Structure 1
Amino acid sequence: MLILTRKKGQSIVINNNIEIVISAIDGDQVKIGIVAPSEVNVLRKEVYLAVQQSNREAASPRINLAELKKITRPK
């Protein structure tokens, strides 16, 4: 992990096309602005983790395969 010290109004650049700007500092809260190409996804980590969990749940089978076979077999 790289740790940098920045002041209000200063920024860092990532990969030549993403800029992180410190826009305000209020006590223990820091407001940042992110300038990035539209094809770059920018999410808060808690949102990213929730999306990943939702994707895992959507990809997992909700019905037992044995139960499914019972439903689709002709009698």
Structure 2
Amino acid sequence: MLVLARKIGESFIIADEIEVTVLKIEGSEVKIGISAPPHVKIYRTEIYRRIVEENLKASNASVEILKEVRVIDKDRRDFGKTS
């Protein structure tokens, strides 16, 4: 792990396109700003872990459960069927 010391207003760059800036320090809390292109997804760690867990659960769904899923969008009702 890389450990950096930064003061308010100072920043660092990740991969030529992401800039992280220290905005404010209040007691034990540090507020940071992140400038990144729209295609870069940024998540808090606890949220990212929940997304991964949900994706794993979804990937383990049985065929029987998936057959019970109802199609809500009528335009997708015939998706995957061949005439």
Counterpart Cα distance in 1 of 2:55 and 2:11: 33
Moved runs in structure 1, 4+ residues, more than 2 A? 61-64
SS of the counterpart of 2:47?
Answer: helix
The answer for the alignment partner of 1:68 in structure 2 is: none
State the match for 1:71 in structure 2: none
> Once superposed, what is the RMSD of the aligned Cα atoms?
1.3
Aligned length: 64
1:48 aligns with 2:48: yes
2:12 matched residue in structure 1: 12
Q: How big is each residue's C-alpha offset from its partner over 1:24-51, in whole Å with a ceiling of 9 and x where there is no partner?
A: 0000000000000000000000000000
- Structure exhibiting the larger radius of gyration computed from Cα positions: 1
Length-normalised TM-score, structure 2:
0.73
The 5-angstrom pairing of residues 2-41 of structure 1 reads 2-41=2-41
**TM alignment of 1:55-70, pairs within 5 A:** 55-62=55-62
Q: Structure 2: any 5+ residue segments left out of the alignment?
A: 65-83
> Which has the bigger relative contact order, CA under 8 A and spacing at least 6?
1
Extract unaligned runs of 5+ from structure 1.
Answer: 65-75
